[in-house]
A and B are shown apart, each in its own frame.
Chain A
Amino acid sequence: MTHISVKVDGTTYEDDVEPRLLLVHYLRDRLGLTGTPVGCDTSNCGACTVELDGAAVKSCTVLAVQADGSEVTTVQGLAHDGEWTGLQRAFHEQHALQCGFCTPGMIMAARDLLREHPHPTPDEVRQGLEGNLCRCTGYQNIVLAVLAASEQEVTA
């Protein structure tokens, strides 16, 4: 067992974990934060994307012990006092989900994309989300939502 201290969505947790425990399993099974799904489990689909110290990572390909001393943000840590972020609102308004399984990862990856490219072109949105798969193939509205969110940030 290895002792870790990790801040997740604003709360600091101290735990003893097996070194082989993946971050996504730590979030879901130990902390109960099931808003982050396990999709492919082979680092292809991006459904498990979270932020580790402010950068999007696939939490199925990070060990919990690697997050020791770090700050993790999941999709459940985005809203403040029940108020969605502009990006979350845009996903809702543009109907950027069908089954919803990829949505947490899409939103976390899109945050990363908008940090690097605050005003992306449609092509840059598609490139920026290349590591996230939608099994419903509902990409069109996801791209529209990210573009809408970037517009909001311009005018807000």
Chain B
Amino acid sequence: MIPPAFDYARPSSVDEAVRTLAGAGDEAKVLAGGQSLLPLMRLRLAYPELVVDVGRIPELRGVREDGDTLVIGAMTTHHDVIADPLVRRHAGLLAAATATVADPAVRHRGTLGGSLAHADPAADLPAVVLALDGELVAQGPGGRRTIPARGFFVDFLQSALAPDELLVEVRIPKADGWGFHYEKFHRVAQAYAIVGVAALVRRDNGQIAETRIGLTNMGATPLRASAAEHALSGAGDPDAVARAADSAAEGTRPARDTAASPEYRAHLARVLTKRAVLAAAGMG
């Protein structure tokens, strides 16, 4: 399968990339690692007139600290995110979940920013960054703006990025002291999650003080399981966690597809939330 023809630009700086995008209207696509975009183009589900390859912009790669925040360049590959000592120390959930994305060869090419900008609710990292209360920094012709993850995922495969904006970095508040776990249910290795649950848990005196839960593939966008987050406050044993996890699917609208019915996805959300929270809380 051969992609449709397109024009190709390879800017060497963020400014040049933004200028290129601004000159192309709605017909341009940003090529990050290409692990989602190129399959879509080969299947002729995407027909960009211009592909803007941001793979040779060094300022978009790497991880640094900014006080209590980790700043991850949008073009940092999954492989590099998993291996990064700062990510492992301060955002272990992101490292653990990224290690479940696709397979090693895809993780050498695929990038954190590309996965988030693609805004696929079945992808793992959108729900993880949502659970981590991350922020996404976009640069457009008018400068930079910061978009909270809660406002970034607009609809199926739609982010809050304007056509002339480039996602440049992802800001993750350090989650020191939080337990974490990503529980993913999929049909075979390297398949997309049928449902995934990203959990962060802070304990106090043996009880759960605070929980943040991101849901993968439970609607058109990644979602927070807000009802379960509230219900889990004060849970001190596995039975209490299981009761609270029963509300994990509240407010979700999961899709029906060949892998699962909405009812089955709701069931999975409850079961996987229980497992993820127990593991994150060290009660499993």
Chain A contact residues, CB within 8 Å of chain B: 2, 18-20, 22, 25, 41-44, 46, 49, 52, 55-58, 60-63, 65-66, 109, 112-113, 116, 127-128, 130-132
Residues of B within 8 A of A112 (CB): 104-105, 108
With A22-B38, A116-B104, A131-B102 given, can you name 4 additional A-B contacts, CB distance below 8 Å? Answer: A56-B104, A61-B34, A113-B104, A132-B103
Residues of A within 8 A of B106 (CB): 43, 58, 61, 131
Closest Cβ–Cβ distance, residue A102 to chain B (whole Å): 13
Given contacts A41-B42, A63-B34, is CB(A49)–CB(B5) below 8 Å?
no
Residues of A within 8 A of B34 (CB): 61-63, 66
Residues of B within 8 A of A44 (CB): 190
**Interface pair B4/A128, CB less than 8 Å apart:** no
**Interface pair A46/B103, CB less than 8 Å apart:** yes
**Interface pair B109/A57, CB less than 8 Å apart:** yes
Closest Cβ–Cβ distance, residue A36 to chain B (whole Å): 13
Choose, from B6-14, B138-146, B207-215, B237-245, the stretch at the interface. Answer: B6-14
**Interface pair B38/A46, CB less than 8 Å apart:** no
Residues of B within 8 A of A109 (CB): 104-105
Residues of A within 8 A of B8 (CB): 2, 19, 63, 65
Residues of B within 8 A of A55 (CB): 79, 108
Q: How far is the CA of A155 from the CA of B41 in the complex (A)?
A: 47
Chain B: interface residue total (CB-CB under 8 A): 30
Residues of B within 8 A of A62 (CB): 34, 38, 109
Residues of B within 8 A of A20 (CB): 2-6, 41
Residues of B within 8 A of A113 (CB): 104
- 11 pairs from A and B in contact (CB 8 Å cutoff): A2-B8, A20-B2, A20-B5, A41-B1, A42-B1, A43-B39, A61-B39, A63-B34, A65-B53, A109-B105, A131-B104
Instruction: Point out which of A60, A61, A113, A116 has the most chain B C-beta atoms below 10 A from its C-beta.
Output: A61
Residues of B within 8 A of A63 (CB): 8, 31, 34, 38, 53
Q: How far is the CA of A41 from the CA of B1 in the complex (A)?
A: 7
Count CB-based A-B contacts (< 8 Å): 86
Chain B contact residues, CB within 8 Å of chain A: 1-8, 10, 31, 34-35, 38-39, 41-43, 51, 53, 55, 79, 102-106, 108-109, 189-190
Nearest B residue to A109, CB-CB: B105
Q: How far is the CA of A62 from the CA of B106 in the complex (A)?
A: 10
Q: How far is the CA of A61 from the CA of B102 in the complex (A)?
A: 13
Residues of A within 8 A of B53 (CB): 63, 65-66
Instruction: Point out which of A20, A46, A62, A127 has the most chain B C-beta atoms below 10 A from its C-beta.
Output: A20
Q: How far is the CA of A20 from the CA of B4 in the complex (A)?
A: 7
Instruction: Point out which of A42, A63, A128 has the most chain B C-beta atoms below 10 A from its C-beta.
Output: A63
**Interface pair A65/B10, CB less than 8 Å apart:** yes
Nearest A residue to B55, CB-CB: A66
**Interface pair B7/A49, CB less than 8 Å apart:** no
Q: How far is the CA of A66 from the CA of B10 in the complex (A)?
A: 9
List of 10 A-B pairs having minimum Cβ-Cβ separation, nearest first: A131-B103, A19-B8, A130-B189, A55-B108, A20-B3, A56-B105, A130-B103, A61-B38, A58-B105, A131-B105
**Interface pair A57/B105, CB less than 8 Å apart:** yes
Closest Cβ–Cβ distance, residue A74 to chain B (whole Å): 14
Residues of B within 8 A of A18 (CB): 5
